[in-house]
């Protein structure tokens, strides 16, 4: 922590000069040094530490060439490229302790791309006219806070004055408490789960925490897996336990929790020891029951609630999932193991569950083992996914793989 932390302020002066100067004064009054990044396109006002010319140049263009594009989306794409590069340079060379961005729809789009490029932990806040609506494109999987601007960002009024002051003081407070040099005191393990496999994964987490690991758990409900991948790309990770495949299943079949095509690839590409187990492959997440029946006809359904329906997978679907995971495992640059339960994949797929199909786990496991790359070991266990013995086998393998990596 420094006496006067440095805050990156991102706001265009061609349309928001008055607001930018007000926020800068508030940050400085709160004990911060300010680096103003001005990604303006229409005109250059001057006074910003990182002006439009520098941003355009970082993307390989002059600001005149950017303006000549004559298309707001194309202009912004260039300025985003340059802004991200210069912001990362500022972080590496100048010890930033916080970022505050202010904008409407265009400014928020730039701010989202910019702030998502920063590491976890660095304080990040966007004041935006978009904050009361759909914020996912701007936040992504990063720890970005958004504050509703309430009024248009058009001058200082009795409401915007408070909003801007509160935003500046909030970032200043976080910046004063931020320690860029803080290091984790425990080796990190990343793990996926879902409520239907939490009995087993909670046992795994407790055992590994008792070993002295920090275990971060992510629900595979659409954003959890991509967040795990983002952290695996950024931090030193001892192991990845990918134990819930819902996001992969839903991408293949059009379910609601689908993640993108790169789901699961980051840790494998970095050589992080990885264990796969097919938690929750017994169902696709569909919408309301009427919608699920229309989209996935001729199977079994469990109405989880009015908005979500679990749709049972059959052997053809399970084999497609196996094909996907076998191909994924083939990309690994480090050790990979599979653990395949022979008595069910989730609490739904159990004698007390709603989608129990005891004939399916064994042929799925045999098929997956037959198509895995020869260097990838698959253990078929005579247990249910949530059985203690299955969890304990994964814990033992995790210890072995980490020890082997460290040797």
pLDDT value of position 387: 98
Contact status, residue 78 vs residue 66, Cβ threshold 8 Å: yes
Of 193, 294, 180, 302, the closest CA to residue 240 belongs to 193
Domain residue limits, the chain? 6-177, 188-406
* Contact between 118 and 91 (Cβ < 8 Å): yes
User: Strand pairing partners for 286?
Assistant: 309
Encoding tokens for residue 173?
Answer: 């407070």
For residue 43, the 8-state DSSP code is -
- Residue 2: per-residue pLDDT: 54
pLDDT at 405: 74
pLDDT value of position 46: 87
Rg from Cα positions in the chain: 25
Tell me, what's the pLDDT at 406?
64
For the chain, how many residues are written?
A: 407
Distance CA(344)–CA(350), nearest Å, equals: 6
CA distances to 38, 69, 112, 153, 208 from 56, rounded to whole Å, are 11, 12, 18, 24, 48
Hey, what are 284's tokens?
């696709």
Give the tokens for residue 141: 């999987």
Question: What span, in angstroms and rounded, lies between the C-alpha atoms of 314 and 281?
Answer: 10
Two domains, one topology: 6-177 and 188-406: yes
Contacts of 101 (CB under 8 A, 6+ apart): 9, 10, 11, 107, 108, 110, 111, 114, 115, 125, 126, 127
**Tens digit of pLDDT per residue, the chain (407 long)?**
458 999 999 999 999 999 999 999 999 999 999 999 999 998 888 889 999 999 999 999 999 999 999 898 899 999 999 999 998 888 887 789 999 999 998 999 999 999 999 999 999 999 999 998 888 899 999 999 999 999 999 999 999 999 999 999 999 999 999 998 888 889 999 999 999 999 999 999 999 999 999 999 999 999 999 999 999 999 999 999 999 999 999 999 999 999 999 999 999 999 999 999 999 999 999 999 999 999 999 999 999 999 999 999 999 999 999 999 999 999 999 999 999 999 999 999 999 999 999 999 999 999 999 999 999 999 999 999 999 999 999 999 999 999 987 65
Question: Contact 326/375 with Cβ under 8 angstroms?
Answer: no
| Fold of domain 188-406 | Rossmann fold (3.40.50)
* List of residues 6+ apart from 251 with CB closer than 8 A: 258, 259, 260, 261, 263
* CATH-assigned architecture of domain 6-177: 3-Layer(aba) Sandwich (3.40)
């Amino acid at each position: 922590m420094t006496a006067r932390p440095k805050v990156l302020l991102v706001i265009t002066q061609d349309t928001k000069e008055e607001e930018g100067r007000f926020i800068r004064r508030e940050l400085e009054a709160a004990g911060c040094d300010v680096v103003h990044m001005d990604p303006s396109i229409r005109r250059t006002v001057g006074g910003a530490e990182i002006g439009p010319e520098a941003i355009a140049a970082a993307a390989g263009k002059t600001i005149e060439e950017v303006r000549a594009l004559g298309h707001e989306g194309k202009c912004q794409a260039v300025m985003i490229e340059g802004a991200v590069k210069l912001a990362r340079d500022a972080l590496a060379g100048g010890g930033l302790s916080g970022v505050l961005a202010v904008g409407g729809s265009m400014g928020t789009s730039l701010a989202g791309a910019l702030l998502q490029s920063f590491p976890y932990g660095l304080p990040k806040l966007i004041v935006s006219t978009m904050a009361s609506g759909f914020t996912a494109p701007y936040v992504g999987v990063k720890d970005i806070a958004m504050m509703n601007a309430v009024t248009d960002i058009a001058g200082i009024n009795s409401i915007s004055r408070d909003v801007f002051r509160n935003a500046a003081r909030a970032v200043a407070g976080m910046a004063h408490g931020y320690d860029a040099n803080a290091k984790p005191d425990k080796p990190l393990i990343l793990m996926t789960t879902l409520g239907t496999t939490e009995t087993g994964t909670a046992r795994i987490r407790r055992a590994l925490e008792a070993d002295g690991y920090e275990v971060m758990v992510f629900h595979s409900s659409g954003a959890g897996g991509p967040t795990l991948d983002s952290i695996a790309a950024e931090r030193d990770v001892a192991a990845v336990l990918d134990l819930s495949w819902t996001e992969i299943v839903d991408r293949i079949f059009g379910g609601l929790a689908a993640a993108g095509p790169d789901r699961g690839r980051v840790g494998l590409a970095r050589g992080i020891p990885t264990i796969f187990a097919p938690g929750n492959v017994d169902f696709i997440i569909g919408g309301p029951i009427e919608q699920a029946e229309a989209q996935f006809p001729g199977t079994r359904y469990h109405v989880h609630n009015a908005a979500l329906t679990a749709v049972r997978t059959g052997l053809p679907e399970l084999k497609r999932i196996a094909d996907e995971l076998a191909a994924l495992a083939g990309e690994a640059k480090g050790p990979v193991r599979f653990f395949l339960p022979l008595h069910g994949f989730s609490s739904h797929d159990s004698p007390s569950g709603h989608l129990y199909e005891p004939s399916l786990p064994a042929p799925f496991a045999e098929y997956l083992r037959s198509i895995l790359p020869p260097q990838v070991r698959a253990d078929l266990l005579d247990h249910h996914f949530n059985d203690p013995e299955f969890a304990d086998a994964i814990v033992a393998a995790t210890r072995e793989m980490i020890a082997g990596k460290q040797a």
